């Protein structure tokens, strides 16, 4: 089944060497994986930025992750006008771009204001809309691209649980993984 169709899955529990983990992460960033938008890279960045906020069971909630996700894309989409998918003939924007631009217009927010400067109640509303639109495809897609090793997840429960082996690897190599993600 395609990753974006998955509703709930568990990571494969097996020992992974550093070489195997590097291979998995290299594969995630290869041009052999399907990506119509930049969402998987933004979601991975959200995970990297939230590593130290995971609870004792290495659980991160969708609220935590999509807050960071929204913050990342706020600047990319609204401040720098960067498209999140290749331009289409009809000029259609991604769901994320539409949600952020709609929030900007409805709330009468100045486009170059930082996400941090927006009142908390507005941020929460925007994050919930982004989460509702983006969790549908990106969570399962990144799970599958990681060869089912990065995390377990539940869309209904709205959480991911990081694989402890992968968590240790990501905390050890966070800076390099961020560079790989940026370059992709």
Q: Are 94 and 36 in contact (CB under 8 A)?
A: no
Helix (H) or strand (E) holding 161: strand 159-162
8 Å CB contact between 74 and 115: yes
| Apex 163 CA angle, 19 and 157, nearest 5 | 150
Average pLDDT over the chain, rounded to whole? Answer: 90
pTM of the model: 0.91
pLDDT in tens, 66-110: 999 999 999 888 888 787 766 667 778 888 999 999 988 887 676
8 Å CB contact between 164 and 56? no
Residues 175, 119: Cα–Cα separation, whole Å:
31
């Amino acid at each position: 089944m395609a990753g974006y169709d998955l509703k709930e899955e568990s990571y494969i529990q097996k020992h992974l060497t550093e070489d195997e983990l590097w291979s998995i992460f290299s594969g995630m960033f290869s041009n052999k994986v399907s990506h119509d938008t930049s969402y998987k890279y933004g979601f991975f960045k959200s995970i990297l930025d939230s590593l130290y906020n995971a609870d004792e069971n290495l659980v991160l909630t969708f609220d935590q992750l999509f807050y960071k996700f929204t913050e990342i894309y706020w600047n990319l989409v609204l401040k720098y006008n960067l498209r999140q998918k290749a331009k289409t003939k009809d000029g259609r924007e991604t769901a994320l771009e539409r949600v952020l631009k709609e929030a900007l217009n409805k709330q009468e927010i100045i486009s170059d204001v930082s996400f941090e400067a927006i009142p908390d109640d507005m941020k929460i509303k925007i994050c919930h809309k982004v989460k509702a639109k983006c969790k549908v495809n990106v969570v399962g897609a990144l799970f599958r691209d990681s060869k089912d090793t990065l995390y377990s997840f539940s869309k209904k429960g709205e959480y991911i649980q990081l694989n402890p082996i992968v968590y240790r690897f990501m905390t050890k190599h966070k800076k390099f993984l961020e560079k790989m993600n940026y370059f992709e």
